[in-house]
Structure 1
Amino acid sequence: MRNLSLWPIGNCQVSALIDDTGTFVWGCAPRIDGDPLFCGLLEPRSDGESALGEWRITLENQDKVEQRYLGNTPILSTRITDTDGGAIEILDFCPRFPRSGRMYRPVAFVRIVRPVSGAPRMRVRLNPAKNWGSEAAERTNGTNHIRYLLKPQPLRLTTDAPIGHVLEGRAFRVEKAHHFFLGPDEPFVGNVGHTLAAMLHQTSDEWRLWVRGLAIPLEWQKVVIRAAITLKLCQHEETGAIVAAMTTSIPEAASSGRNWDYRYCWIRDAYYTVQALNRLGALDVLENYLSYLRNIVDEAQGGHIQPLYTVNGDPKLEEWVAEGLAGYRGMGPVRVGNAAYTQIQHDAYGQIVLSNVQAFFDERLLRKATTDDFTALERVGARAFEMYDQPDAGLWEFRTRTSVHTYSSVMCWAACDRLAKAADAMGLDERASYWRERADEVRAVIEEKAWHAGEERFAATFGGDELDASLLQLIDMQFLGRDDPRFLATFAAVEKGLRRGEHMLRYAAEDDFGLPETAFNFCTFWLIEALHLVGREEEARALYLNMLERRTPAGLLSEDTDFTTGELWGNYPQTYSLVGLINCAGLLSRPWSAIR
């Protein structure tokens, strides 16, 4: 049965998920939001012996599989042993390293198979799919390669393994290393074995150097490093976009119909991602993302900002169902695109400003923000001020109802507040006063309209009484202080209403699909942060350690957890959840001075 014990590899252009047998089961080309050539995770309807949408390497009489990442890299080592003690090691990665003055990150996947012991007999089956799992890619072959006629661009497998054996899926003895390069449809120049060995070394060096520059906490270093590497893999470096997850249509709960395509750039999710990586000093991700945002703001021309865009910045993401795929464990539908792009979500204005504001202060950036950038952001702020008290779908993207959501309104306040601070930094006194006045006006309305006087706490909507985990973000957004009695009262109500043992719900009321059946992992991390902030440190650490136990063998989390069984559900790996791993480690870790 399929599960989420999946190991991501990638190079910030393409990525793939490898299951606990060492099989490629998910991966799109030529971008992360493209057509999946590997789609076995979502059960092609023509599946079976053909292994459609998979790249399998197995041994005859296979016994056990052991997997690990090479230290501080997304390079996966899979060791497969047969019943006679014969063993191979597979090294899987996507090349990424500087070359010719730029980053070499081709649409390519590399597999290096090395004999370890005995006389193992290996079988290689590569059967890419096209048109969303509806058919296998046609193929042609030469002496040392196989061409797969994929769209929009074909791919070529270059190898020093016997081509006939690969084409026919025939087993053969592994007596030396074999190399596989699935990449652009062009002649492979040079010795494939020597070249891929060099690529492995260069890719490893590039990732280790990147990790070396991170400012990590004393405790849980491996947790933070793995989360940071995976967050970086979620950035489409060509444009700077950051996707919410690598997958589509992993249900939020079994047979729930809550199956969404997360392979796009949500302004909200990306904000939290760069916020977490900023805390680690990974400024390259921020700088690339700010470039993406500047283009989004230019296109909007001060008008409506969508909640999400494609990784190329395309605003249109029409949602449809891929009939060729049955879905994760057969639990369809498999959705492509996301109709949330049509929704009104006013918090996006705040998240754009908050993502940009560091660029007005940080002297390390290669491109500090300019007065032109400030002027462009003022158009976003004007839109935030215009819309802060208007109904929207909210951050949980309700499809059938709208309200004036407190979280969205506070994000609009944050846009005005941070513009005032940016203006101060730029020496623009008149603009600073202008935005401070607007921030004060928005604050006054929120404090009146979102306040539930009967219970003396904030509510999730203006004039309502709903509880929402996002109310725990009032401190992070600097709207309230940790000692503010209004926050303490709100936290107490949220914890009582939404906490389920070791987990936190987004909300407990029915939505478009009924009552929630799983906990939202990011909200559990918000709970951990709040516990720390109110001084319940031991409880916060215990809850964090419990969340660490929920991680997959790859050290990652999906979007949701069944709060009864503990099983992971939802798209994977989920940037929100990885952000929680990083942020809480930073808050809870002992200081470095503890070892001095």
Structure 2
Amino acid sequence: MTNETLTPEALPTKHLYEMGLIGNCAFLALVNKDTSVAWLCWPRFDSSFVFGSLLDSKKGGEFSVRPAQGGSFSSEQYYVENTNVLRTEITTADGRYRVTDFAPRFAQYERYYKPLMLIRKLEPLEGAPRVRVVCDPVGEYGSKTLSRRRSSNHIAYLGLEEEIRLTTNIPLTYILDEEDFALNEPKYLVLTYGAPLEAPVESTSERFLSSTLEYWRKWVKSMSIGNFHQEQVIRSALALKVHQYEDTGAIIAASTTSLPEAPGSTRNWDYRYCWMRDTYYILTAFNNIGHFEEMERYFHYIANISTKVKGKYQPLYGISGASELVEQELDLEGYMGNQPVRIGNDAYTHVQNDVYGQVLVALLPLYVDQRFVNPDRTNPEALMYEALGLIKTTMDVPDAGLWEFRNLAQYHCYTYLFHWAGSHAARKVARTLGNTAMEALATELNEEAARRIEQCYSPELGAYTNAIGSPHLDASTLQLILMGYLDPNSDRARKHLEALEKELKTAEGLFYRYRHADDFGTPETTFLICSFWYVEALAVVGRTDDAIREFEKLIGYTNHLGLLSEDVDAKTGSQWGNFPQAYSHVGLMNAAYRIAKKLDQPGFI
């Protein structure tokens, strides 16, 4: 990593994020193939990093188990099958060793044990490897150096609100002095924030490991998925799961901040927040795999937001429901020199009117799905009337749209689609509740939203444009097909899809969000979830063979562990944008589900 921003010409032909994700729904971490922890924020997803070499090689601290100084090595990284337990095997001239990294998670005392605890198990595999352990956490995004206190069997790192403690059976002198040592038996590193490990390190680590493996395997076994590319669907589901902050139920867009959408683009954003625009897709993904618990937790997060909204919904909220997410720039190198490094996200100030329909669609199952009981606890009529009222008052208000244009307001087709879908959902709830006045209001808004959507139709293009009076096509209008506004068997749906293919699809099967210039110029990379929307649309209109072919192209854009980024460079296949991107994995899961449903129909083998 350098302070010099890399241009596309200076980069390798294909850039991948060569690191793995671990987590337990209380924290997330990214581990490089050299065993270093590139990213770990404590005590929350949106807290400062304690290890952040991903964004600054000098200020980001370090936690690594590398070979003895000066030795070359090769690395292999993989997950224990059907789990979020990560293994990195290092081969040196002296021998081979393995580091197993995991965040403990398992059932205990009728709830889940998910401590702020990273456990690293070191094992010799061949020969006589020598390793060096470095543990140097930092605070306040690298601006704070922590002091160290040595105790009998642990090292305490002091200076944050709570103590970080490294408990280990490795001689502390080797770690404090950063000296290499012979790894001739299993060793354990248990790093905690707040409550420390007060138990035998070897036996407890092994118990936590076996219990965590068992938890993840049972979770996967309880998934209801088809046979279509099961391995990738499982990996995507496991990645999505750990992006849920279980304490509140919020699901963040991505693990990271400020990884550029394209090198030198300055499109570097903090995605460790919960976007209302993605609610429908997330809930659909969990419903498609039959995981009810995550849906319910997320419903409660959304319902909690809904009950405190005054006047308007924001496009995004913090994992605690916080509404002020003030954007700041930090004095850090940036990923591969890409600046600015941002925390917070000023998109919270934007007008994004599709959120009202998103909330209504999201809350619909609470009142019509028989798996939910006692829906009156969320005061459904008040919530529904409030959201419908907001749709009515914003029907003639331009907004920033799905893609959060910072200096452009339009009457977006996607916004009207969610006005249409949200009022349709409210009408179903009204019928369930027997509220004829609410049903009449929802019907009125549904019909008005449909009229606005039709104003986006261009007879010349044979397609719906991104906004009323706009000539531009936009991948978000694929949702006209996916959400049932357009009859998938109609000529209009077929021609609309063909027009989007012609304008936005690359030869590699990737899809741009749009091709026109925005506040930062013309987009350089494709937005991966749009490509999965395209696959879904192909399946819905009956082009199943095309959908399978394009899906199988897209899974080639994962890293070595099956993890997806936010963006992909169509020319090189490079991963860009924040990583891992939960919504890219949502897109994959939903596309696979659509295809699997088609393959289950008569006529397919």
Unaligned runs of 5+ in 1: none
Distance in 2 separating the partners of 1:555 and 1:336: 27
**Which residue does the alignment assign to 1:7?**
20
1:93-492 alignment runs, 5 A limit: 93-186=102-195, 188-301=197-310, 303-323=311-331, 325-365=332-372, 368=375, 372-447=379-454, 449-492=455-498
Q: CA deviation at 1:429?
A: 4.0
Secondary structure at 2:270 match in 1:
coil
Q: Percent of pairs identical after alignment? A: 37
2:56 is the alignment partner of 1:77: no
Amino acid at match of 1:81: T
Are the counterparts in 2 of residues 388 and 413 from structure 1 also a CA contact under 8 Å? Answer: no
Are the counterparts in 1 of residues 481 and 540 from structure 2 also a CA contact under 8 Å? Answer: no
Across the two proteins, how many residue pairs are aligned to each other?
587
- 1:283-314 deviation digits (Å, cap 9, x = unpaired): 1111111111111111104x200001111110
Distance in 2 separating the partners of 1:145 and 1:371: 47
- Range with bigger deviation, 185-194 or 557-566: 185-194
Secondary structure at 1:500 match in 2:
coil
Are the counterparts in 2 of residues 244 and 270 from structure 1 also a CA contact under 8 Å? Answer: no
Distance in 1 separating the partners of 2:284 and 2:392: 23
Of 501, 505, 518, the residue aligned with 2:512 is 505
- 1:419-452 deviation digits (Å, cap 9, x = unpaired): 00122233334432332232123222332x2222
**Which residue does the alignment assign to 1:53?**
61
In the superposition, relative to structure 1, how do residues 594 and 215 fare at CA in structure 2: closer, same or farther (>3 Å)?
A: farther
Of 35, 42, 65, the residue aligned with 1:29 is 42
Give me the TM-score of the superposition, normalised by structure 1: 0.95
Distance in 1 separating the partners of 2:410 and 2:161: 42
Are the counterparts in 2 of residues 506 and 523 from structure 1 also a CA contact under 8 Å? Answer: yes
- Range with bigger deviation, 534-543 or 290-299: 534-543
Of 500, 520, 531, the residue aligned with 1:494 is 500
Distance in 1 separating the partners of 2:564 and 2:571: 17
Distance in 2 separating the partners of 1:236 and 1:593: 41
Distance in 2 separating the partners of 1:546 and 1:595: 21
**Which residue does the alignment assign to 1:554?**
561
Distance in 2 separating the partners of 1:209 and 1:231: 16
Q: CA deviation at 1:481?
A: 1.5
Q: CA deviation at 1:267?
A: 0.9
Unaligned runs of 5+ in 2: 2-14
Distance in 1 separating the partners of 2:600 and 2:407: 47
**Which residue does the alignment assign to 1:545?**
552
- Range with bigger deviation, 421-430 or 73-82: 421-430
Q: CA deviation at 1:509?
A: 0.4
Give me the TM-score of the superposition, normalised by structure 2: 0.93
Are the counterparts in 1 of residues 482 and 536 from structure 2 also a CA contact under 8 Å? Answer: no
Give the superposed CA RMSD: 1.9
Distance in 2 separating the partners of 1:473 and 1:424: 25
Amino acid at match of 1:195: T
In the superposition, relative to structure 1, how do residues 344 and 193 fare at CA in structure 2: closer, same or farther (>3 Å)?
A: same
Distance in 1 separating the partners of 2:176 and 2:602: 59
2:73 is the alignment partner of 1:63: yes
**Which residue does the alignment assign to 1:588?**
595
Distance in 1 separating the partners of 2:107 and 2:206: 16
Q: CA deviation at 1:154?
A: 2.4
In the superposition, relative to structure 1, how do residues 271 and 595 fare at CA in structure 2: closer, same or farther (>3 Å)?
A: closer
Q: CA deviation at 1:186?
A: 4.6
Amino acid at match of 2:499: A
**Which residue does the alignment assign to 2:573?**
566
Distance in 1 separating the partners of 2:76 and 2:437: 63
- 1:364-410 deviation digits (Å, cap 9, x = unpaired): 23654667224313211221222133100001000111101110111
